[in-house]
Structure 1
Amino acid sequence: MTSLTNSPQKNESDSELDSLKDTVATQRALDYYLKPSVSQHTMEKKVFQVSSDVSQEEALLHASDYLRCGIASAHGAAEHLHGPQRDLLLSLAFFMESSKQLVDRAIDVQPLSAH
């Protein structure tokens, strides 16, 4: 019976780790987990950002409008397609229609805000 402490270590995993040391993916992972300022800085660069003074009602109304436009776009594009691509667009339209109904319901049940 051999002792666990006396058994030789395998070098295969060490060589695999060494090959990953200087890769771009490794550096990105290290930056993400060890340098929060780097990852936060890249996350702050947004193309679309909602202003902090937008009310909940305004946000819901805009979301409903965006969903309505998305539904119209999906249906319009589906008219020119057949088969699986058409099915995919119609299923997307269905999900957007369901989401729009949820948003519209949230607008309907929202208490009136005092102006």
Structure 2
Amino acid sequence: MFKYTPNPPEAETDDSDPTSPYSTPDSRKLHEAAERALDHYLKPEAPKRRRSRPMFLIAPDMDQESLLAHACESMASANTLLNDFAALLEPPYRNTVLGIAQVVMLGELAVNRALDNIDPPNR
């Protein structure tokens, strides 16, 4: 049987290939260095994750009643601040701030209800 296409040339394993970009061993080193440089800038490694430490931390052994009482006081303070700020504003902006104050007040009422539902520990 006759083959119409010739066999492909055998691959040479050394650097004596006339079409090789590596005419000398130094050119291979230069090429590898260039690849490393390009990889450094074009394929950066994923950023290392830093262990974050919280600036403020609620004690893990804090009881529910204390947490809810603190939340209630914070929301009451925010409500007062918003109402005082609303008094300084013109009507279209005043209505927006009063709406925010109302949402804060509703949150305060919900926290107060949660406080009422907590069974006090037997002391």
1:13-28 alignment runs, 5 A limit: none
1:69 Cα offset (Å):
0.4
Give the alignment partner of residue 102 of structure 2, picking from 89, 94, 109: 94
Structure 2 residue runs without a partner (length 5+): 1-41
TM-score of the superposition, structure 1-length normalised?
Answer: 0.61
2:67 maps to amino acid:
A
For 1:41-60, what per-residue CA distance to the aligned partner results, in whole angstroms no more than 9, with x for missing partners?
Answer: 23x332x3211232100000
Within-5 A mapping of 1:58-73: 58-73=66-81
CA distance in 2: counterparts of 1:112 and 1:59, whole angstroms: 14
C-alpha distance after superposition, 1:14-35 (max 9, x if no partner): xxxxxxx67xxx98xx44xxx5
CA deviation after TM superposition for structure 1 residue 84, in Å: 3.1
- Scaled by the length of structure 2, what TM-score is found? 0.58
2:54 match: 45
Q: Which runs of 5+ in 1 are unaligned?
A: 1-20
What is residue 83 of structure 1 aligned with on the other side? 91
Which structure ranks higher in relative contact order (CA pairs < 8 Å, sequence separation ≥ 6)? 1
Identity value in percent: 22
CA–CA separation in structure 1 for the residues paired with 2:84 and 2:57: 28
Cα distance, 1:99 vs structure 2 = 0.3
Structure that is richer in helix per residue = 1
Residue-pair matches, total: 82
Amino acid at match of 2:103: F
Alpha-carbon offset, residue 89 of structure 1:
1.2
User: How far did residue 91 of structure 1 move?
Assistant: 1.1
Give runs of ≥4 in structure 1 deviating > 2 Å: none
1:63-96 alpha-carbon deviations (Å, 9 max, x no partner): 0000000000000010010133212211111111
SS in 1 for 2:62: coil
For the pair shown, the structure with the greater C-alpha radius of gyration is 2
Deviation of the 1:62 alpha carbon: 0.6
